[in-house]
Structure 1
Amino acid sequence: MALDYFAPGVYVEEVDRGSRPLEGISMSVAGFVGFTEDVRGDADLFKPSLITNWNQYLECFARPGSDGFTDFDAYLPFAVQGWFQNGGGRCWVVSIGTKLPGTPAPESQETATRLLTSAKKPSLSFNLKLPEAEGDAPALPPADRIVVTIVESEPKPIEDADPDAEPPFNTGEFFKVVVRSGDRELESFPHLTMNAQADTAVADYVMTALEDSEYLTVTNISGDQGHPLTRRPANGRYEVAPPPYIAPVERLARDLHGVRDERKGIQGLFEIDEVATIACPDLMRAFQNGLLDLDQIHAIMEMMVSQCENSFPGPAYRMVVLDPPPVKLRRGLEPVAPEEQKPQDMAQWLSHFNRRSMFGALYYPWIKVANPRNNNRPIMVPPCGHMMGIWCRTDESRGVYKAPANETPRGVLGLAYETNMREQELLNPLGINCIRNFANFNRGYKVWGARTLVEPDNVQWRYISVRRLISYIEKTIELGTQWVVFEPNDQDLWARVTRTVEGFLTRLWRDGALFGASPTEAFYVKCDGDLNTPDTMMLGRLYVEVGVCPVRPAEFVIFRISQWAPNQ
C-alpha cells in the first residue's frame, strides 16, 4: 500500500484479505529398511532411495536382468513388491547390504566382471579396488560403479624415428582401456596387448600397465595360450560392480539403527518428511538367522516406535507397522517356524515386548507368497509391506479416515496360521490385527482388524484410521498456515485463520471424515480475544483452538432381532 498520494488520479492496489485454502498432505508414502540383491544406479548403501514402481526398484536394487530377490530370501523385496501389488505409490527404500552379516566374503573371481574375446572365450576380469577400512568399520564399496570401455588402439609411435621409415605393423591385437565414472573419464591406458613378451617400445602388456590403476585390479583369465590377437578382449562397455558389503554380525544393529544426521539406516528415513509409514521386514530375517536375539529385536522396535512418537517441533504423524517375531516363549526365546506360532504365543510375546503406542500397528499371522527364486514355490514372509499397501489403497479409494480393514490382500497365497473367531477374541482386544481366511463365506482372505497398539483402555486412539486422520489434520494445518507467521496479530488475522481452517475441515466433513449432521456438529475453530489476550500477544503468540469429531469404524455390527406382533 502506498504511503501517500501526490498527483490526482485513480490508484489500484492489491489487498490480500481472503483466506488461503489448505491442501491436504499425503499420508501414503512408505519407508522400508532391509537387505537387497544389489545396490546400483542412483541408490546408495544405507541411504534412502525414492522408488515409484517395481521396475525402478529393480533398476536400483537388483542385478541386471534379475528378478530382484535374493538367494538368502531377504524379506525386503517381498515387502516392497507387496506394497506395489496392494496399491502402494511411491516409497523410500534403505538397503543395509546385499549379503547377510558374517557371510564368508566371495572370491574375487565370483564378483569380477569377465571380459570375453570375440569368440566368447575368457580374456580378462576386472575388480574394483576397495578403500581401506577406518576403525572397526568394514570398508564400504565405492558409491559409483566403474564402466570400462575397450576400444581399438595401435602400436606406440617410435620416438625420433626416420620420417621415411615404416611405422610398426598393426596386427589388430592392440586395444585401449578407458575407465569412466558416469560421464567423467578417470583413466586411460592405450597401446595395450595380451602379449606378456611384448616390446615396451611397441606396446604395453595389459597386466603391467593396469598395475598403476587407482580404481581397478585386473586378472588374465585367457591362459596365455595362443596368439595375442585371439585372446584380445572384445570391444564394448563393461560395468564393474563393487564387491558386496558384508558387515560383521556385531555391527548389524548399528547399521539398522543408522545415523540421522547422515541420513542412514532407519534413522535416515525420519529425515524424509513425506514418509508417513515405516517398516523393517528384515528384522525377522536377522532374527531367524541368529544375527540378532529377541532383546535386540525389541530394542530396534522400541526405537522405531519412539521415533514415530517424537516428531518435534511438528506434530507426530508417522506410524510403524511391526512384524511379530515367530517365537514360542515356552521354548525359550529361540525362533520357530511361522506356522508354529499360535495366537496364544502371539499374546505371550506381546506381553513380553510390553510396548504400547498409538503410533504402532501389528498384524498376525505371517503370509504365504510366491518366491521367484524358488520356482515360485510359496514362502512365509512378514505381512508389513502388503498391509501398508492396503493402507495406501484405502487412502486413494476412500480416504485416510476409512479403516484399512475388510480388504483383500493381493499376492497372498495362504496364511501361516488360520485364526478363527474365538482366537481373534483373544488377540483383537490386545491390538493385534488378524488376517483371516473366510473361505467358508466365499470371501477369501481379509484383513480383519484396524487397531493401533495403544493401551486397551485408551479407546480414544484405538483405531488406525482415527490416529491417521488426526495426524493428517494436524500436519496439513501446520504446513498450510506457514503464511501466518509474522503477520500482524489482530482481529483481521484471527478471522482469516479461522476461515482457512474452517474451509479445510468443512471439506473433510463433506467427504465423510467427520461425524455430524452439520459442520457445527462436526468441528469448531476458535481464535478470538479469549484465547489471545494482550499478554499472549505481547509474547508474539497466536492461539487457535480446533476441535474435531472423527468418524470411527463400525467394528462390531449388532442386529437386535425380536418377534413382533403387529396387533400388540
Structure 2
Amino acid sequence: MAVVNTSYPGVYVAEVPSGTRSITGVATSVTAFVGPTTRGPVDRAVTVDSYAGYERTFGGLGTPVGFAVRDYFANGGGQAVVVRVVSASAETAGFRQAGVEEGAARLDLRAANPGPWANTLRIDVDHDVADTSSTTRFNLSVTDPATSRQEVFRNLTTTPGPRFVVDVLAAESTFLRVVPPTGTAAIGRPLVTGEDTGYVVDEATADAALDGDDYNGEGFADAQRGIWALEHADPFTLLCVPPTDPAEGVDPTVLGVASQLCVTKRAVLIVDLPRGVLPADVPAAVAATELNGEAARNAAVFYPGLVQRDPTADGRTAEFASCGAVAGVIARTDATRGVWKAPAGVDASIAGGADLAVSLTDAENGRLNAIGVNCLRTFPGIGPVVWGARTMRGSDQLGDEYKYLPVRRLALHIESSLWRGTKWAVFEPNDEPLWSQLRLAVGSFMQGLFRQGAFQGTTPAEAYFVRCDKDTTTPEDVLAGRVNVLVGFAPVRPAEFVVLQIQQTTAAQA
C-alpha cells in the first residue's frame, strides 16, 4: 500500500499500481537475407519495409538476394533485414576511387561501399561559397545516373572543423568517402570541374564469387561480420541464404552456422537445394547440407526452385531459389491465420508468375514428404503452391516432436514472447507475490493464443497450463536466485492426410 503523508484533515488520493503486466507476442515473420547485393553497406544489418526500400539501399536485381527479396515482398512479406556480404578481394579492388587535382592540390574520394555500381558516379565541385576569399571552402555534389539520386554538400572545408569534408561525407553521404591523405599532408583545394579531366579514376570490378569464408571467416563472430552481423540485428524469425552459385548450392559450413544462429535467435532457416537436382537425387542433396540433430528442428528445406524471367538478362528465363517466395507465403499465412497455421495448401499460392523447375508427381511428392522435404506443386486451376510443412526433423523415421513446421514456429513464438515479456521479473523479490504475477501474465498470454485457435482442446485446462509456485521453485532455487515457470501447451498439428472413406449402398440401405 502506498504511504501517504497526511498533514491536514481532508481526503487524500494516491495511485496504487495494479501489479498486473501484459505480454505482447513478438513479430512472427520478419525475414533476414544474407548474401551479395549490387550495392549497399557491407556487414551491416539493414531493415527494409518494401522492395522499393531494398532498391534504394541495395540496388535491386542482379544478385540472388535481390530476386529473393523481390519474391518475398511479392508474396506477402512485410519486413526484411538484409546483410550484404562481399568477397575478400572487394576490400581492396572493389572500390571506385577518384582524385580531383589542381596542381599539387588533391582530394581523393572513393565509393562508400565496393562494387561496380559506383563506376558511373558523377562528381562536381565548385567554389560558389559565401566567403569567396576562402581557399579551403567548396561545394561538392555527386549524382548516381542509375537511380537519378543526387547528394549536395555545401560549404565544406579541407581543414578540421564543423564542415570538414572527411566528417561530413562519412556521416551524411551514401555515395562517397574521403581517402585519408598519406603522411601529414593536408587535403588540398579541389579543382573546379565537372568533367572527367582532372580525375584520377580507379574503377571497381565486379565482385568475385563468394565462398564460405566470406560469410563466416576467422574472427567474423567477434567482429560481427558476414552472417554474424545478424547477432545484434532487429529480431528476425526466418532466415534465407540464397545460393550465390545456384548449381552448387550453399556451402554446408555456412548452412551449419546459419542453423546454429537460428537456434540462438529462435528463428527458422529456409534451405534451398542446388539447381538442377532431380527428384531421385534430392535425398543425397539434403544429406549434403549436413543439417542434422536437434538444430535441424530450426530448418526447413523446400524443393524445387522457381523458373522466372530475368530482367537483367533481356528477359530470359532462369531458375532461382524459392526461399524468398516461401518466406513471403509464410509471412502472409501468419498475418491472415496465425503462426500455428501450416503455411501450405491451396491458399499458400506463389505469386509473381513463377513456374516450377520440376513438375512432381504424387508418388515423388510422397517419397520426398516422408523424408521431411517440403514440395512445391502446381495444380490445374490453382497454380504453384507450397505443398509441405515439415522441419528437417520431419522424417517419418525420426518421430520428432517438432516434425511439423507450424508446431516448431509456435513453440519459438511462445519462447520469444515470454523471454521478452518477463524481463521485468529480474531482481524482483522471489516469493509468492512474484509467482502470482508471473502466473497471471503468462496465463493471460496463453489464454489469448487459445482464443485464437492456437491450441488443441475445448477448454483452457485441456489446451495449456502455467505453473509457478513452491513446487516449481524450491527453497534451493530461491537461494540460487532462480524462479521457475513451467508452461505446457497442446499444439494443433496440420491435417496432412485427409482420408475419405466412401461406400456404395443401395436405396434400401440409405
Give TM-score scaled by structure 1 length. Answer: 0.70
Aligned pairs (5 A) from 1:336-415: 338=276, 341-356=277-292, 357-406=296-345, 407-415=348-356
**Structure 1 pair 398/565, CA: closer, same or farther in 2 (3 Å)?**
same
Deviation (angstroms), 1:128: 3.0
State the 1:253 CA deviation. 2.4
Cα 1:375–1:353 change in 2 (3 A) is closer
Partners of 1:305 and 1:57 in 2: how far apart? 25
Stretch deviating more after TM superposition (262-271 or 419-428): 262-271
5 Å-filtered alignment, 1:304-319, equals: 304-309=258-263, 311=264, 317-319=266-268
1:324 pairs with 2:273: yes
Alignment of 1:245-284 (within 5 A): 252-257=211-216, 259-284=220-245
Contact 1:46–1:255 (8 Å) recurs in 2? no
Contact 1:128–1:242, Cα closer than 8 Å, also in 2: no
Separation of aligned partners in 1, 2:353 and 2:89? 29
Q: Distance in 2 between matches of 1:322 and 1:216?
A: 53
CA apart distance, 1:455: 5.4
Q: Please list, as runs of the form range in 1=range in 2, the aligned pairs for 1:471-486 lying within 5 A after superposition.
A: 471-486=412-427
CA drift at 1:247: 6.6
Alignment of 1:49-198 (within 5 A): 49-62=46-59, 68-70=60-62, 74-97=63-86, 128=109, 148-151=124-127, 178-179=139-140, 185-187=156-158
Amino acid at match of 1:344: A
Contact 2:237 2:267 in 1 (8 A): yes
- Displacement after TM superposition at 1:408 (Å): 0.7
Aligned residues: 452
Distance across 1 between alignment mates of 2:424 and 2:91: 54
Is the 1:408–1:447 contact (alpha carbons within 8 Å) kept by the matching residues of 2? yes
How far apart, CA to CA, are the structure 1 residues paired with 2:200 and 2:389?
Answer: 48
Aligned mate of 2:385, from 442, 446, 467: 446
Tell me: CA distance 1:504–1:370, structure 2 relative to 1, closer, same or farther (3 Å): same
What whole-Å deviation, never above 9, does each CA across 1:215-273 have from its counterpart, x for those lacking one? 9999xxxxxxxxxxxxx8569xxx99995476776x74222126234332111113214
- The runs of 5 or more residues in structure 1 that have no matched partner are 63-67, 116-125, 132-137, 158-175, 189-209, 219-231, 289-293, 327-337
Tell me, yes or no, if the aligned pair for 1:128 and 1:216 is still in contact at 8 Å.
Answer: no
Letter in 2 for 1:304: A
1:437–1:446: 8 Å Cα contact kept in structure 2?
A: yes
The verdict on how the C-alpha distance between 1:148 and 1:102 changes in structure 2, with shifts beyond 3 A counting, is closer
Q: Secondary structure at the match of 1:531?
A: coil
Q: CA deviation at 1:49?
A: 1.3
Decide which of 45, 48, 57 is 1:48's aligned counterpart.
45
Q: Cα RMSD between the aligned structures? A: 4.0
- Flag the 1:389–1:215 CA change in 2: closer, same or farther, 3 A: farther
One-letter code aligned to 1:487: E
Equivalent residue letter for 1:53? S
**Residue equivalent to 1:205:** none
Change (3 A) 1:114 1:394: farther
1:563 maps to which of 488, 494, 504: 504
**Pairing 1:420–2:352 present:** no
Distance 2:266 2:202 in 1: 38
Distance 2:495 2:274 in 1: 30
The alpha carbon displacement at 1:517 in A equals: 0.6
Instruction: Report the AA paired with residue 19 of structure 1.
Output: T
Distance 2:478 2:421 in 1: 22
Q: Secondary structure at the match of 1:322?
A: strand
The alignment-based identity, stated in percent, is 30
- Structure ID, larger Rg: 1
